Structure 1
Amino acid sequence: MNADDARLPLWPLPLLIALLFLVAAHAAYLLSIQAGHVPACVPYLEGCVSISRAARHGDGNHLFRLLVIPCAVLHALVWWLARHWLRGGRLMLVLGVMSAIALAVYATFLGTEGEAYRFLRRYGVVVYFGFGYLAQLALMRRASRMQALPASVIAWMSWIAMAMLALGVANVVAGLAVPDPAAKDRWENVFEWWLGLLMIGWYGVLAFSWRRQRVAVTLPANT
């Protein structure tokens, strides 16, 4: 590396993913409450509204799209950089990029009408969470084998991954065990909000670790 080459730290990118998604979901919900589109509650406890419904109408929808579509681009960039950082991990990259594309599709068609758009929204969010989760597991596995992350960071990421898995199982159980459709919807909404929070929390841990380890890309100086 040339002495004049610049090093660009990577930790702001996963941190920005977490912040953008956090602001997008909650700000959109507040705007929708103010406009009377959705009821007010603590969705993490009461489940009166899903993330999708909270961001489906009016200014909340516009804000959500404005923040989440760039967030999807950041997802893809982080996974590409993670493959560069770990010197491999093609499956991780493919899963991460597909998750990012699914998030972009979901945000793009949120609030639109029609069966085809409903299909794209529904499976967009499923693919985002599912493939994103698998990409996270792949990163943890490769980083652990290469000792690219401290054991404490891997442990935190593992706890988050186990919590996400537990929520997924609980969602399936609730769907089978709860007979009342309204109660079932409330439980699904609660699980969705917590799953989203855990997902972006994982990126927050990655940002913390990259900052602590000073992970960066080298930008060649102009000659």
Structure 2
Amino acid sequence: MPESIRSTPLWPLPLSIALLFLGAVHLAWWLSMQQGHIPACVPYWDGCTSISRAARHGLGNSLFRLAVLPCALLHGLNWWLARAWLRRPERARDVVADAMLVLGALSALALAIYTTFLGTEGEIYRFLRRYGVVVYFGFGFLAQLLFLRLARREGKLMAGIGSAMLAICVAMLALGLGNVIASLVLTDAVLKDHLENALEWQLGLLLVAWFVLQAVLWKRARFAMVIAR
């Protein structure tokens, strides 16, 4: 009997990452605020709480873990599929594509570690949480830059979407530099903490926007998994 071929579009994957992350963070923030664990404010500009603090307590912590741990797995799958989409098939090895996959996988692992130990106490756990989130954002950002480079190299980066994704990367870099400068310049500990918190929330929102644009790119490119039955 002849084989039937079915294709499964892959653009819902990065969109799912964006929606899961966005939903988990804001649900945890709302629950913690309702239960009195954090002050009532809009953290994007007030900076009254960090993402970690908002997701550290009670039911918000449980739901945050429940959503973000699968999200970390989706991150790893996303970078593996991105490598398959952007790797040149005629090459036995593509160093840039491999580097993107390694950075993306380490970012996903860091997110899983951060989420696992969020809400726990102790110096070791605090170290794992702090550097887990730094590696997640840092290595994820580098993987995004390599994604853009590879997509441009392969002629798969559509002009409007590519410009928007690059603008988000530039904005993320600016926020990161702003955070470093603030930590060096500000002497008021409370003001510095609030500014760092606000920048963290804004960075998370930019990250979500990047994955939404990746979903749009893959949808327009009709990137799909072909399954023969």
TM range (shorter): over 0.9
Match of 1:142 among 135, 150, 154: 150
Give, as a single letter, the amino acid of the residue that structure 1 aligns with 2:134.
Answer: V
Give, as a single letter, the amino acid of the residue that structure 1 aligns with 2:202.
Answer: W
TM alignment of 1:27-176, pairs within 5 A: 27-87=27-87, 88=94, 89-176=97-184
Q: Deviations over 1:134-172 (max 9, x none)?
A: 000000000001111212211111000000000011111
Give, as a single letter, the amino acid of the residue that structure 2 aligns with 1:19.
Answer: L
How does the TM-score come out when normalised to structure 2? Answer: 0.94
Q: CA deviation at 1:56?
A: 0.3
| Unpaired runs of at least 5, structure 2 | 88-93
Q: Distance in 1 between matches of 2:83 and 2:5?
A: 21
Q: Does 1:203 align with 2:215?
A: no
Q: Distance in 1 between matches of 2:141 and 2:76?
A: 14
Q: Deviations over 1:166-191 (max 9, x none)?
A: 00111111111111000000000000
Query: How well do the aligned residues superpose, as a CA RMSD in angstroms?
Result: 1.0
Q: Distance in 1 between matches of 2:181 and 2:119?
A: 29
Any idea what SS the aligned residue of 1:36 has? coil
The ranges of structure 1 where at least 4 consecutive aligned residues each deviate by more than 4 angstroms after the TM superposition are: none
How does the TM-score come out when normalised to structure 1? Answer: 0.97
Q: Deviations over 1:91-150 (max 9, x none)?
A: 000000000000000000000011110010000000000000000000000000111121
Q: Distance in 1 between matches of 2:145 and 2:112?
A: 22
Any idea what SS the aligned residue of 1:45 has? helix
Q: CA deviation at 1:79?
A: 0.4
Any idea what SS the aligned residue of 1:179 has? coil
Give, as a single letter, the amino acid of the residue that structure 2 aligns with 1:65.
Answer: R
TM alignment of 1:6-25, pairs within 5 A: 6-25=6-25
Give, as a single letter, the amino acid of the residue that structure 1 aligns with 2:83.
Answer: R
Q: How many residues align?
A: 220
Q: Distance in 1 between matches of 2:149 and 2:157?
A: 10
